[in-house]
Every structure is written in structure tokens, then in C-alpha cells.
Amino acid sequence: MIEEIIKFNKEFVTQKKYEEFISGKFPDKKIAILSCMDTRLTELLPAALGFKNGDVKVIKNAGAIISSPFGSAMRSLIVAIYDLNVTEILIIGHHDCGMQSLDYEKIIEKMRSRGISSEKIDLVKYCGIDFKEWLHGFESVVESVEATVELVKNHPLIPVDVNIHGLIIDPVTGELDSI
């Protein structure tokens, strides 16, 4: 697969197809979006919101969940605010999310079936990782988005002049619901 990607990329650059995507590093709309990594949202989300390349900063992870107030997703939002002039944050979850009702025990079983030894799993536990907490999902996308919005709003490093919004997108139609 990597050979196909490299071949396509060489043609992309040679034919200067990148030119339509040229933009600056600062988001034109001063918006950062935290959304799910779901493949259905890759092109649908910006199209459904009317954004083009260069308009917004997009941070993606499993479930649009901030699992740690000082983890990488929150760090990205902080950098977006203080270094990239973001003044609004959109937390966007979606219906039919894979993180809904995620079962950490099934994930661990899949790890074992893919060759991860019990010793390695135990070592990770010994190092302080609680798999139940680390690989948790959510029951309700609405409650998950609300919780993430509240975490961001109440974060000690988020200034009060930054607007934070919660939205849920339909991964088929792109229809938005505001929280």
C-alpha cells in the first residue's frame, strides 16, 4: 500500500495539485475543532460546516474525547489559542460513534489475539495505566460532548473570552445539532 501512496504523491506534486490547498498556518476563521477520527467525517465535516483548507484547525481522536486535562488533545487546543489566534472551539461528536459503549475488555482480548502477551499487558497496568479508564467510551454522545465542553470551559488555562460550543453531526447527512 505504501508504494501506491508514494507513487500517487509524486504525481500529485509533479502536477502541482497542491496549489489549490495552499494556505497559511493561522486559521482564517480563528476556530479549532475537536472531532472524532471516524473516516466518514474526513471530508463530510468540513463540507457540512462550509470550511475550506486554511479556515480552521482540526484535532481528531477517538470519540472527540479529552481523556486528560493535560493530554495531547488539550495541549493542541491551548497551542491553537495562544500560538495560532483561535478564539472559538467546536467540540463535535457524532451519532453511531465507535466509542459509544466501547468495551475495554474486548480490546484487551483483541490485543492478545494479535500477539500482545499477558506480560506486556500486565507491565502496562503495573506502570499505572488503568485500561478501564484509558480505553473507556461513552453511553451517550450528547453527554460525552457536554462533558468535554465543560472540561474545556473550566480548564484553568482557557481564557474566558474563548467561545466553546458542543455539536453533534450526523455521519451520513452532515446535519448538525447544537448542544
Which carries the bigger pLDDT value, residue 115 or residue 133?
Answer: 115
Question: Amino acid identity, residue 104?
Answer: Y
Scan for cell 483483541, then name that residue: 110
Quote the pLDDT of residue 101.
84
- For residue range 42-64, what is the model confidence (pLDDT) as tens digits? 999 999 999 999 999 999 999 99
Domain-wise residue ranges, the chain: 26-98+139-179, 103-136
CA–CA–CA angle 134, 138, 141 (5° rounding): 135
pLDDT classification of 29: cutoffs 50, 70, 90: very high
User: In Å, how far are 19, 28, 32, 78 from 59, measured between CA atoms?
Assistant: 23, 16, 7, 12
Query: pLDDT band at residue 167, thresholds of 50, 70 and 90?
Result: very high
Give me the mean pLDDT over the 153-176 stretch: 98
pLDDT digits (tens, 9 = 90+) for 85-129: 999 999 999 999 999 989 999 999 999 999 999 999 999 999 999
The pTM for the full model equals 0.92
**Residues sharing a CB contact under 8 Å with residue 177, sequence separation 6 or more, in sequence order:** 167, 168, 169
Amino acid (one-letter) located at 33: I
CATH homologous superfamily of 26-98+139-179 equals Carbonic anhydrase (3.40.1050.10)
Amino acid 126: pLDDT: 97
